[in-house]
Structure 1
Amino acid sequence: MTQTFSELGVPTQLTTVLERDGKTSAFPIQESTLPDSLAGRDVLGRGRTGSGKTLAFSLPVVARLMNRKGRAAAGRPRALILCPTRELATQIDAVIAPLAASVGLTTTTIFGGVNQRRQEQALSRGVDIVVACPGRLEDLMKQRIVSLDQIELTVLDEADHMADLGFLPGVTRIMTATPRRGQRMLFSATLDNGVNTLVKKFLDQPVTHSVDSAESPVEAMTHHVFHVADAGAKRDVVHALASGTGRRVLFMRTKHQAKKMAKQLTADGIPAVDLHGNLSQNARDRNLAAFAAGEAKVLVATDVAARGVHVDGIELVVHVDPPAEHKAYLHRSGRTARAGSEGDVVTLVLPEQKRDTAQLLSRAKISVRPEAVNASSSQVVALIGEVAPKVAPAPVADQPRRQSGGGGRRRGGAQHQNDARQGGRGRQHQNDARPARQGAGNARSNDGRPGRQDAGSRQGQGAGRSGGNGGSGSGAGRSGGAARNRHAGGHSSAASFSAGGGRRRGR
């Protein structure tokens, strides 16, 4: 019989937070590991993604820190949780932050792709729990902004994925910088690719708990293999599968294909957002938020989302492009049928992919009979379920052409119009034509492309691209304080249907 968190020894302050969120009974991975982790033992937890590992380590981290006196000093956190991706770091923090706050502890996230100033400020104030990706954490360590010499608990989450991404050398250096006396927990679906070396090197007589290994198909997950005749038939099936009312994730092999598919679906009245490595962190966060909030029913992603995207109620995962290896198939598929919910997984297979896909599924220990389908086949229609109403993409205003007073680029008095001509003050962009390149600082545009800085040679005042008399454009010589952004179908497809869509200025 499933035990409650109280019966497993979780403090009342934390069970109260869990109960407010509707969590009373523990999942198997939590039930098996919590007695040992709460007692301070090193723990090796083996379980598939979606099995509840985040709460399994979040509870003991907070519970053990709250029972120890003292506060975190500036730049010296007391607990460290390492994970492979920004998305996973953000979602781990969303789980652990309310637990920590209930007992007066603080948390922060550390990862690349964003300006590190906010992270520096959080560390300087003193933070108890840091959720970090290895690359940025090492950068801050080298800059002496953070020290790990006061770490009391360390967690490695998705250790096998960190190994797949080549992070193990950095993880090893980070772990070496933490005190040997601290408690350590490692969670991983498998122990290959060097993960076992980490276990032997850094865990002290760990208690091992294995629940739902990565090779174990989830009972609530139904797998389908659909053979399609050609690329055109495949496109039709994808659009049909994307048209239902529930959340679904489409996996593509490349960033370009993910961006293109999200644009096509949105144009077809199916609100979709993309998630891949070319997006800035702001764009990733915005697109995930749109997907989680239901503004977009479809997330089109590369393997960057195979781990780290934990959104409730994903009813369908579609491998539009079959992955290269079986572990990627299992981790992609793990976006559905999470925490006891049911879900379906579809793999679309072109004629030339049949042999490789059969081998892939065999290695993943998935037994399923392939079926030849088209967009109107009963098997496809059954997975669509209720069809969602079409949503018209937000209109994109025509972009006025830049004018330069008689054509061509001129030096000196040439300029762009701003509703009326302004006299001889250098080249100036229309406010609503191509917005300016990035103002001060190091921000990025919403579509992930770096904005040009207005520092040094491109300062807005007195140093724009000049010539003749006064080339500065009165403080706007290539400036304007707004990064160039793209409309619907750019890197951030959410802009095409979210509130106030259309063109957005950079931040």
Structure 2
Amino acid sequence: MNHPDPAESQPSVTSFAGLDLPPAVQRKLAELDVREPFPIQAATIPDALAGRDILGRARTGSGKTLAFGLPLLARTAGRRAESKYPLALILVPTRELAQQVSEALTPYAAALGLRMAAVVGGMSIGRQIAALRDGAEVVVATPGRLHDLVERKACRLDRVRITVLDEADQMCDMGFLPQVTEALEQVRPDGQRMLFSATLDGDVDGLVRDHLQDPASHSVDPSAGAVTTMDHHVLVVHGPDLYAVTTEIAARDGRVLLFRDTKHGVDQLTRHLRASGVQAAALHSGKSQPQRTRTLAQFKDGQITALVATNVAARGLHIDDLDLVVNVDPPADAKDYLHRAGRTARGGGSGSVVTLVLSGQRRELSRVTSEAGVEPTVTKVRSGEAALTRITGARRPSGTPLDGGPYSRPKNTNAPFRGIGSSKDTSGGRPSRKTSEARKLAEARRAAQVRRGR
């Protein structure tokens, strides 16, 4: 490593009033009842206001947005951007995070008379071009869409004085390193750069080495798995019982975020949950941005209680008071585990992370959790058991389908549904239509053979 490892920050500032922020920002903070800074905010804001480059290591949900956003706005206040020439740039990995950052900073930007523009894929590029043409001091962007607009000469970066890379490790993991590097090479070389990341290895280390000058380094809550208010559980389930266990968890009284590895897996589980009477919705990169925005809004306000998502779609998501995350498909590595876990216990809250595994997956998951610095409680469970309810709040779903679809079926009162692909007979002894038709066809063939043998 060619940069200093961030030291654990012990900030002495206990209120925003003790920070040298503009009066308009202080008034807005008080109006919104935001009074005590999180550790990462108290640690980084003084150095950022002084114009220093910042290297911050902090988990998602630790308050990074205001940590970089308030100094960025304060140092940009009083300046006016010309058409197509923003003065400050915030790069984030996903559309959802761009939207969240924009929403979090807009009240303070408005108080300072600053214009913001969100530049993301999946939305009208024409409107984004118009916003940049009208002039925006601060641009929040995903790397791909920013690259497209720069290529079209709709956005020019050579007057950007402050650049922020939020969730830098995730941007690199998602393949955005070339676009990120390209942007950093186009902004003012004498400008301020702030980089925030959960990890500082590999490509992120290269970005720090090549683009930050003598950064002030701060580390707060570096590992999502180390949060003391987060409980970690591994539930060992029988294969055919996996969907039944998942469905009972999703039917709990309260919201839950469920992770699957693929878009197909997300859609399949969502259809099954809705057919079982659970208010579920899918979130993945195959959905349009308006769909994703609407789904997130419904999940935040409780209309949707079970959100089924892929890693890519859920990166950087901030959901207040979300107390349960379930890995229906176990995470591939420690970074994935910590990222998923970081969706709960945000802002000092409490939460639980539950991973469902089959017996054959236990050894690999043990390696992942060990590398993540997590010691989960391991419990064998089956659907309908008290242990499952105690750990997750699971309960029996209503069984009343919310809409039509291939998984809608009459409720079976003789045996629980054990999941797609189960070999368990849940028909209560009655042959299905397909079974009856196959039996009739076989009997007809045997009769024909008998006739030919006469």
Pairing 1:221-240 to 2, within 5 Å after superposition: 221-230=230-239, 232-240=240-248
Pairing 1:108-187 to 2, within 5 Å after superposition: 108-187=117-196
Q: 1:395 to 1:242 in 2, by over 3 A?
A: closer
Show the counterpart of 2:299.
291
Contact 1:215 1:365 in 2 (8 A): no
Contact 1:245 1:388 in 2 (8 A): no
1:372 maps onto 2:380 in alignment? yes
Show the counterpart of 1:302.
310
* 120-129 vs 359-368, which moves further: 359-368
How far apart, in 1, do the equivalents of 2:401 and 2:358 lie? 31
Show the counterpart of 1:277.
285
Deviations 1:302-326 (A, max 9, x none): 0014422101011100000001111
Report deviation, 1:329: 0.5
Show the counterpart of 2:371.
363
Q: 1:196 to 1:395 in 2, by over 3 A?
A: closer
Report deviation, 1:391: 9.4
1:189 maps onto 2:198 in alignment? yes
Q: Give the alignment partner of residue 220 of structure 2, picking from 171, 189, 211.
A: 211
Contact 2:254 2:305 in 1 (8 A): yes
Contact 1:247 1:313 in 2 (8 A): no
1:59 maps onto 2:70 in alignment? yes
1:319 maps onto 2:327 in alignment? yes
1:341 maps onto 2:349 in alignment? yes
Amino acid at match of 1:40: G
Q: 1:62 to 1:392 in 2, by over 3 A?
A: farther
Deviations 1:100-143 (A, max 9, x none): 01111111111112230110010010011100011110111111
Amino acid at match of 1:35: P
Deviations 1:405-445 (A, max 9, x none): xxxxxxxxxxxxxxxxxxxxxxxxxxxxxxxxxxxxxxxxx
Identity %: 45
How far apart, in 2, do the equivalents of 1:236 and 1:389 lie? 10
Show the counterpart of 2:51.
40
Secondary structure of 2:149's counterpart equals helix
Report deviation, 1:254: 0.7
Contact 1:159 1:188 in 2 (8 A): yes
How far apart, in 1, do the equivalents of 2:323 and 2:242 lie? 20
Q: Larger relative CO (CA 8 A, sep 6+): 1 or 2?
A: 2
Amino acid at match of 2:216: V
Contact 1:271 1:391 in 2 (8 A): no
Deviations 1:46-70 (A, max 9, x none): 111111111111110111111xx43
How far apart, in 2, do the equivalents of 1:206 and 1:166 lie? 25
How far apart, in 2, do the equivalents of 1:22 and 1:181 lie? 36
Report deviation, 1:148: 0.5
How far apart, in 2, do the equivalents of 1:95 and 1:12 lie? 18
How far apart, in 2, do the equivalents of 1:194 and 1:53 lie? 21
Deviations 1:256-304 (A, max 9, x none): 1111111211221110111111111111111111111110011100001
Show the counterpart of 1:76.
85
Q: TM-score, normalised by structure 1?
A: 0.75
Contact 2:91 2:142 in 1 (8 A): yes
Contact 2:83 2:132 in 1 (8 A): yes
How far apart, in 2, do the equivalents of 1:22 and 1:111 lie? 30
Q: 1:268 to 1:395 in 2, by over 3 A?
A: closer
Show the counterpart of 1:22.
33
Report deviation, 1:375: 1.9
Amino acid at match of 1:352: G
For structure 2, list consecutive stretches of 5 or more residues without a partner in the other structure. 1-11, 406-454
Report deviation, 1:392: 5.6
1:351 maps onto 2:362 in alignment? no
Contact 2:250 2:394 in 1 (8 A): no
How far apart, in 2, do the equivalents of 1:388 and 1:121 lie? 51
Report deviation, 1:394: 5.3
Show the counterpart of 2:61.
50
Q: TM-score, normalised by structure 2?
A: 0.83
Deviations 1:141-184 (A, max 9, x none): 11111101111110000001111112111111110000011111
Report deviation, 1:21: 2.8
Amino acid at match of 2:44: T
Contact 1:240 1:384 in 2 (8 A): no
Show the counterpart of 2:409.
none
**Aligned alpha-carbon RMSD (Å):** 1.8
> Where does structure 1 differ by over 3 angstroms across 4 or more consecutive aligned residues?
383-397
How far apart, in 2, do the equivalents of 1:385 and 1:370 lie? 17
For structure 1, list consecutive stretches of 5 or more residues without a partner in the other structure. 398-507
